[in-house]
Structure 1
Amino acid sequence: MDIGSPVRAPLAKPHDLVPSRYAVRVGDIDVLVISDGVLPLPTAMLGHNAALADRTAWLDEMFLPREAFDWSLNVVVVHSGDQTILIDAGLGFDPDLNLPRAGQLIMRLEAAGIDLGSVTDVVLTHMHMDHVGGLLVDGVKDALRPDLRIHVAAAEVAFWEAPDFSLTSMPQGFPDALKSAAKRFVIAYRDQLRMFEDEHEVAPGVVVQRIGGHTPGHSVVRVASGGDRLTFAGDAVFTVGFDHPDWHNGFEHDPEEAARVRVRLLRELAATGEQLVATHLPFPSVGRVAVEGETFRWAPAYWDY
């Protein structure tokens, strides 16, 4: 793919009947979870260090297909004071990959009444393609504010200058696509980047914190107001990670550290009782965590109509 070439998102269907947004109130802060669609991936991605029999048994227990299934792609919009903050930007559109049901964010932001020009800040949990790709869709940069601030860990930007895929286990084509997307993103948005080391307050009650593991600069976003708390965990937590937090996800660049980070984070969330949202938990991905011995239990929130 030509690094400088624009890409166009597929045309939206006139009537999208799939649930695509869910609102949560955290004190005085409004949080909107938006689905970017689904990403079909091999089930081996869930735990490539696990025995096939163990992985198959878990899939059967969860009534999931054994070979491949759809991973949710969730993005969050936060309104705090006069700031509108987009947390991650979805997959966008890569003509070299056949992913027709992903990359829906721009269409669904419009459907939710959120104008791209109203976004004051973007927070990136990390720079994988399914988190920055929406910013690379043709026409998006021109629709964003010229004074847009994009918050990302300095360690993340440094990592993508020469990324290491030696410990990952990805389908063919993904490493090249990830490298291309990260490179194009930095070229396109270098002047808007606001890099931080370990922690940064984006807005009142909205703090981004680097935790590493999945990628060196992988970060979570903490939202707190009026005694309520919610953490957007990005790719630190996957569905299988509650039952098998030691299983290695194929997209983790340091899987051993990612497992340690996951356990620490889940124990913390269980202790605080706060709400959790994550990129690849089933939409709308709002729930809480409980400890069950050496593993965890996911308690999804009841939908509030």
Structure 2
Amino acid sequence: MNFDVSPHPGGSERDELVPSRYALKVGDIDVLVISDGVLPLPTVMMGHNVDPAVRAAWMDGNFLNRDAFDWPLNVVVARSGGRTILIDAGLGLDPNLDLPRAGQLIKRLEAAGVDLASVTDVVLTHMHMDHIGGLLVDGVKERLRPDLRIHVAAAEVDFWEAPDFSHTAMPPGFPDALRSTAKRFMDEYRGYLRPFEAEREVAPGVVVRRVGGHTPGHSVVRLASDGDGLTFAGDAVFAVGFDQPDWHNGFEHDPEEAARVRVQLLRELAASREQLVATHLPFPSIGRVAVDGDAFRWVAAFWDY
């Protein structure tokens, strides 16, 4: 079954001047990348372990504001073997945060014709609030299937019982927001969780694998079918991570390990030539990875209309 990408009456499509969903096929797997909006953050979050002048030069070279940066928020829906899998769930609507351009996932799923009741599985790359918050929006839980399976690494669940932020460099307010959102999520959805240790096949050709780094249980999801492949990397890769893979992101709970994971993943993707999607790359974030000297280069895919 292909995704319905036509506008729906009453949907948000007519109010949007830019597209917020992009459909593609990975072999026999239907894939839909959906934008949850953008999250404005200070640019120091892109690399808090480097000289500010070096970071400013990188922003200048990429025609970006030196002080603030709109992080894209991407989510994936996949259909394989009769299952509909939501990979990450967006930011949701936190009343304590003034983020009006984020938290768009639920209405954009509706605009794309994806019924919440059709979702059989949710895969969480990790439990930061911009990956679980959509499930906490008022009225969402009641629309989900009672037999919904939420797949998340056991190490991630354990970490959020008593999270350690000692190696992070987040803006004020974010640690408390992350902590409270994770607690609320566990209170609401603990009975739906299907923790895994290292790897799990969620549906035919849809495999989630724990890699760690960004958070202890951070995972990536590989879709593979008929010789084609695509990896959803979650927060393992950021826009700066290709040519500056050793820059530390402020949300990383183990920056050194996160850099090692990032380099290993980019090497794998460069060798396989398979497609990459990540949460915080510019929408629709579909591209491939090329080796560029001692670093890497992101090669954006040509849109297929």
TM-score by length of 1: 0.95
In 2: Cα distance, 1:169 partner to 1:236 partner: 17
Aligned length: 295
- Residue 265 of structure 2 aligns with which residue? 265
In 2: Cα distance, 1:211 partner to 1:163 partner: 18
CA RMSD of aligned residues (A): 1.1
In 1: Cα distance, 2:27 partner to 2:14 partner: 35
SS in 1 for 2:248: coil
In 1: Cα distance, 2:296 partner to 2:194 partner: 35
Say if 2:84 and 2:120, in contact at 8 Å, map to a contact too. Answer: yes
SS in 2 for 1:279: coil
- Residue 35 of structure 1 aligns with which residue? 35
Cα shift at 1:155: 0.2
- Residue 8 of structure 2 aligns with which residue? none
Q: Note closer, same or farther for the CA distance 1:13–1:21 as it changes in structure 2 (3 Å cut).
A: closer
- Residue 20 of structure 2 aligns with which residue? 20
- Residue 147 of structure 1 aligns with which residue? 147
TM-score by length of 2: 0.95
- Residue 85 of structure 2 aligns with which residue? 85
Q: Note closer, same or farther for the CA distance 1:197–1:283 as it changes in structure 2 (3 Å cut).
A: same
In 1: Cα distance, 2:49 partner to 2:12 partner: 38
SS in 2 for 1:150: strand
- Residue 229 of structure 1 aligns with which residue? 229
- Residue 135 of structure 2 aligns with which residue? 135
- Residue 219 of structure 1 aligns with which residue? 219
Deviations 1:202-260 (A, max 9, x none): 00000000000000000000100000000000000000000100000000000000000
In 1: Cα distance, 2:173 partner to 2:190 partner: 26
Q: How does 1:96-245 map to 2 (within 5 A)?
A: 96-245=96-245
SS in 2 for 1:172: coil
Cα shift at 1:294: 1.0
In 2: Cα distance, 1:24 partner to 1:235 partner: 21
In 2: Cα distance, 1:103 partner to 1:217 partner: 23
Cα shift at 1:16: 2.1
SS in 1 for 2:70: strand
SS in 2 for 1:190: helix
Structure 1: segments with no counterpart, 5+ residues = 1-10
- Residue 47 of structure 1 aligns with which residue? 47
SS in 2 for 1:270: helix
Cα shift at 1:12: 6.6
Q: Could you tell me which amino acid in structure 1 is paired with residue 166 of structure 2?
A: S
Deviations 1:137-159 (A, max 9, x none): 00000000000000000000000
Say if 2:223 and 2:230, in contact at 8 Å, map to a contact too. Answer: yes
Question: Equivalent pairs: percent with the same residue?
Answer: 78
Q: Note closer, same or farther for the CA distance 1:278–1:225 as it changes in structure 2 (3 Å cut).
A: same
> Structure 1 segments of 4 or more deviating over 3 A?
11-14
Cα shift at 1:276: 0.1
